[in-house]
Structure 1
Amino acid sequence: MRPSIFRPVVISLRDIPLHYILIAMLLVSGSLSAIPAFAREWHFDVSVDGLPIGTHDIIVQDKGDARSVQSDMRYGVALLGASYKQHAEESWQADCLTRIDTRTEEKGRVTTVAGRLEAGAFVITGPRGQEQLAPCVMSFAYWNPRVLRQTHLVNAQTGAWTPVTVHDLGKEPLEVRGTSRPASHYRIDTERNRIELWYSPEGEWLGLRSTTRDGHVLSYRLR
């Protein structure tokens, strides 16, 4: 038998410069610990009683169990000289709100809300003062279908801890971007409003319709 021409090569770590070893360790540890971030976006055209009044844009950035949310509402009724703008930023850990900062401008009046998870309680400060809530709360985050399981939600404009009642209205198709899609229909009742929501079978938020106490109907359509 002819002897093999291959010989095992043994490399001692002592033969490799230390900084090369450190770089390799950093690259490996970084690739193992890095968690990719995923963005989900909703862009709605908003109308009241069938008349277009503005937009609502929401971007949710997911990174593992952590989420950051940016929401921008811009409404205006030129004939009435009325305008409404709201910019909100939220941080979440899983399905629990850990931070909220909101600035709302309505008819020239500005209000702010700030909330933080502190020492086992969610502390929120708004126009009505400061309030301590349970450590795991949710805002009216319609992009997360878990809002449908709640009995109270944080109002981003006022900071109020708002009682809600959720009704399952069954399944019905909803027109989304010109296409009929299967959807589950729900309604959230508050003291002031009735908010109807539609979700796809996968839990994607598809649309909204809200009826105010004075009978106006606000509608969201994905664009």
Structure 2
Amino acid sequence: MLDRRALIAGAVSIVGAQALPRFALAAMPANGAYRYQVLRNGKPFGAYALTFATAGDATTVTTDVAMQAKVAGLTVFNYRHHCEEIWKAGRFQEMHSTSQRDGDKDFCAAVRSTNGGINITNKNGPLLAPPSANPYTHWNGGVLQGPLFNPETGFMLRLTAQSMGHEPFVMGNGARASGLHWAVRGENDIDEWYDDAGMWMGLRAVFPDKSIVEYRRL
């Protein structure tokens, strides 16, 4: 079974000397869009899109993910995820997401509380996350130091992340580029890459069925 949660969430403590500043945004263009191809075992599997829209000191980051697999012409896996985050002055403020895998639906709403903590509501009810928590939505490597919550389900997971220095990464056009590599380990194995400007280049993850899923920036 494909575990899309492996690619959506985690709570990360950092090991290594090249940690990024807490709450600092790795990169946030005022306005712009980035597209990523999704591969599974080297074959097309879907698409991932990021858009940034800034008004004053607030930026809305929108993520859309679509993945599909077919066997003998029949759809055996169909996944959609839509997420909107609001960041203000480089600090997470609010997030809303909806996800659907076949007939399985998830939603998550997270709002920074004025009296401390992050108020999260998901399909299981309300919970309170630490005030330093952020959504793990991949594009922002600057959040890897602190606690993270799953932007799909709203739950905290425990992983560790270690900076591996600069290593090559294959982009969507097939070109090899050097990027800062973070190895995220624990319940799942995820490797993230960021360019010198701090923008997310993509990832490589191993699913529980041992298949390899890659996101590559186009």
1:134 counterpart = 2:130: yes
Q: 1:96 aligns with which of 91, 97, 106?
A: 91
What is residue 13 of structure 2 aligned with on the other side? none
**What SS does the aligned partner of 1:162 have?**
coil
> Match for residue 50 of structure 1?
42
Identical aligned pairs, as a percentage? 26
Tell me, in whole angstroms, the C-alpha distance in 1 between the residues paired with 2:58 and 2:158.
Answer: 26
- Structure 1 runs (4+) greater than 6 angstroms displaced: none
Pairing partner for 2:104 from 92, 105, 109: 109
**Alpha-carbon RMSD:** 1.9
SS in structure 2 opposite 1:161? coil
1:188–1:147 Cα change, 3 Å: farther
Amino acid of the residue matched to residue 98 of structure 1? Q
* 1:175 is aligned to 2:174: no
Match of 1:210 in 2: 205
Larger Rg: 1
Residue of structure 2 in register with 1:8 after alignment: none
Distance across 2 between alignment mates of 1:194 and 1:147: 18
Q: How does 1:1-223 map to 2 (within 5 A)?
A: 38-63=30-55, 65-79=57-71, 80-120=75-115, 121-150=117-146, 152-176=147-171, 177-191=173-187, 193-223=188-218
d(CA) in 1 for partners of 2:190 and 2:114? 33
- How far apart, in 2, do the equivalents of 1:188 and 1:63 lie? 33
TM-score (norm 2): 0.77
Q: Distance in 2 between matches of 1:69 and 1:124?
A: 18
Residue 78 of structure 1 aligns to a residue whose secondary structure is strand
Structure showing greater relative contact order (alpha-carbon pairs closer than 8 Å, 6 or more residues apart) = 2
Contact 1:128 1:159 in 2 (8 A): no
Corresponding residue of 1:31: none
* Higher mean C-alpha displacement, 207-216 vs 172-181: 172-181
Q: Give the partner amino acid of 1:171.
A: H
C-alpha spacing 1:60/1:190, structure 2 compared with 1 (3 Å): farther
Q: 1:129 to 1:190 in 2, by over 3 A?
A: farther
SS in 2 for 1:55: strand
Structure 1 regions of 5+ residues with no counterpart? Answer: 1-36
Give the aligned partner of residue 27 of structure 1: none
- Shift of residue 184, structure 1, vs aligned partner: 1.4
Aligned partners of 1:164 and 1:60: how far apart in 2?
27
Shift of 1:63: 4.2
With structure 1 as the length reference, what TM-score do the two structures score? 0.76
Structure 1 residue 183, shift from structure 2 partner: 1.3
AA aligned opposite 1:197: E
1:127 alignment partner AA: K
Q: Secondary structure at the match of 1:149?
A: coil
AA in 2 matched with 1:38: A
| Partner SS, residue 131 of structure 2 | coil
- Larger helix percent: 1
Letter of the aligned partner of 1:62 in structure 2? Answer: T
**Secondary structure at the residue paired with 2:144?**
helix
> Cα offset for 1:66?
2.0
Q: Tell me the equivalent position of 2:10.
A: none
Could you say if the C-alpha distance between residues 49 and 179 of structure 1 is closer, same or farther in structure 2, counting changes exceeding 3 Å?
closer
